[in-house]
Amino acid sequence: MRYIYILFFILTIMRGESDVSLTIKKNVGSRIGISIENISSGLMPAISQKSFILFKDDLTLSGNFETVESKNISGSDNYLLKYDLSGANGANLNVSLFNGDGNSLLFQKNYNISSFDKYPFLIHKSISDINKFLGYDSMEWINRLVLMSRYTGSGKSEIVLTDYTFTYRKVIVTDGLNLFPKWANKSQTSFYYTSINSGLPAIHEYSLNSGIKNHIVSGEGMLVCSDVSSDGNRLLLTMSPDGQPDIYEFDKTTKNSIKLTDFSGIDVSGQYLSNEKEIVFVSNRLGYPNIFKKYTDSPTVSQMVFKGRENNSCDTKGSKVIYSSRESKNIFGSNTFNIYMISNGSTFPITSSGENQFPRFSDDGSVVMYIRQSNGNSYAGFVNPRTNQNKLFEINSRVQSIDW
């Protein structure tokens, strides 16, 4: 009898703990074993090693495969992936997928890109193609370009174009402070960013194809493009024409803006919800940063999050919301920030430890990217809630902002 009560007590404690942290359940048994074989010749050892790691990470993050050594696979239930990466005329990649015994060729494709340093994009594309060929859910998100603003000194930051693993990097915008990059369209051919040099803060649109930047709007105080409508015509801006940060909807064609929030404190980070008639934003109207929402044509504001005392960053995709929440109270030094997702009325954690901020949905909403700060360095974290896969990539830069 006594042991039963003790058991009951222990289980009660265990249940209480499980409610406050994310349980990552690895259902390895349902994943297909796949072996990777690098048959490239003439590659520098560092590139050879890095390419192998990229294949492995892509396959792992799909949630559909478990990479294994070739000696451990056999039969038709497993796969063998062979790749040949070379540097003639840019980067060339040939990928072949065999069944486990290596006898049956299932898939083969060649890929090429104009310069060799872009080879990570070839690897990502080949894995998303193989994933699709085998009938799994789309993982086109690994092909997306990532924009990162990183600090390079006091009063200096630059915007860098990367792949999702931050292996490929190209500096696009330099000189002065270049902040808050935001993709201008789904095809990722141009982006908005805030430029602060000697004059007023200004938002420019930069075309990746032409290298031309166009001035969009300038204003005193602060100016940020937080979100772009699905048709690309309307922007949610944080502006402060009177020194007061509020959210405005800016019509790109007419250049007119409508003030959506009107609060004497801080309203920032406006994000469209699915119908684009509602926005989610960060406000300190309760005395601390928290997540709120409102219709664009109504002054009524409603609180979305009822947990945490510092929820200061958010993103949306469709009707889903992700936000970062500070969960420790150190005035100085490191704090615990976790990422939470709100979906279908439920809120659940995406991360369970560390200093995790800047949550961003993938374009299809299936994966969440975030930045983890640790010992002065930044890491890009990825969580696929459907497959429970997660991965950190080292960035080696101090990140100001990202968009995906």
Partner 1 sequence: MKKITLGFAFFTLLFFAGCTQSAPTVPSDDAANSKVSPGNISDSPSVTTDSGVNIKEGNATANDIKSRMSPSGGIPNDGTFNNSSEGLQSVYFGFGDYSIVNDMYKAIDKNANALKSYNGKIKIEGNCDEFGTDEFNYALGLKRAKIVKDALVAKGIPASMFSIISLGESTPVCTDAIDECYAKNRRVDLKKQ
Tokens at 187, concatenated: 């095809």
Residue identified by tokens 């340093």 is 117
- Fill in the DSSP letter of residue 90: S
CB-based contact 261:281 (threshold 8 Å) = yes
Per the structure block, which two tokens stand in for 3? 């042991």
Is 220 near partner 1 (CB under 8 A)?
yes
Considering only 75-83, 88-96, 252-260, 264-272, which stretch makes contact with partner 1 by CB under 8 A?
A: 264-272
Map the footprint of partner 1 across residues 32-91, applying CB under 8 A: none
Q: By CB under 8 A, is residue 339 in contact with partner 1?
A: no
- Residue that the structure tokens 């890109």 belong to: 113
Best CA proximity match to 59, nearest among 148, 126, 147: 126
Should residue 329 be labelled a site residue for partner 1 when binding is judged by CB under 8 A?
no
C-beta closer to partner 1: residue 248 or 358 = 358
Mapping DSSP to helix (H, G, I), strand (E, B) and coil, where does residue 347 land?
Answer: strand
Does residue number 181 form part of the binding site for partner 1 (CB under 8 A)?
no
Q: What is the nearest approach in angstroms of partner 1 to the Cβ of residue 72?
A: 26
Candidate ranges 52-60, 84-92, 99-107, 208-216; the one touching partner 1 (CB under 8 A): 208-216
Please check whether residue 335 is in contact with residue 355, taking contact to mean a CB–CB distance below 8 angstroms. Answer: yes
CA angle 75, 76, 82 (to 5 degrees): 90
Q: Is 287 in the site for partner 1 (CB under 8 A)?
A: no
Residues pairing with 66 in the sheet: 33
Q: 72 or 274, CB closer to partner 1?
A: 274
Q: Can residue 218 be called a binding residue for partner 1 (CB under 8 A)?
A: no
Helix, coil or strand: residue 131: helix
Other CB atoms within 10 A of residue 128 CB: 19
Q: Is 265 in the site for partner 1 (CB under 8 A)?
A: yes
Structure tokens at 386: 């459907």
Answer yes or no: are the C-beta atoms of 223 and 201 closer than 8 Å: yes
Task: Give yes or no for a contact between 228 and 235, defined as CB atoms under 8 angstroms apart.
Answer: yes
| 328 is an interface residue for partner 1 by CB under 8 A | no
In the complex, what is the shortest distance from the CB of residue 286 to partner 1, in angstroms, rounded to a whole number? 14
x/- track of binding to partner 1 for residues 350-369 (CB under 8 A): -------xx----xxxx---
The answer to whether 213 touches 206, Cβ cutoff 8 Å, is yes
Report the candidate in 334, 331, 313 with the shortest Cα–Cα distance to residue 401.
Answer: 313
Stretch that binds partner 1, among 69-77, 252-260, 292-300, 329-337 (CB under 8 A): 329-337
Q: Is residue 27 part of the contact set for partner 1 (CB under 8 A)?
A: yes
Is residue 16 within the footprint of partner 1 (CB under 8 A)?
no
Q: Does 214 bind partner 1 (CB under 8 A)?
A: no
Closest to partner 1 by CB, 35 vs 316, is 316
> Binding string to partner 1 for residues 122 to 151, with x set by CB under 8 A, is what?
---x--------------x--xxx----xx
The dihedrals phi and psi of 99, each to the nearest 5 degrees, come to -70, 175
Q: Residue 35 or 313: which CB sits closer to partner 1? A: 313
Whole-number Cα distances in Å, 57 to 52, 216, 390:
9, 39, 10
Q: Which of residues 288-327 bind partner 1 (CB under 8 A)?
A: 289, 310, 312-313, 317-320, 324
Distance in Å, CB of 269 to partner 1, minimum: 5
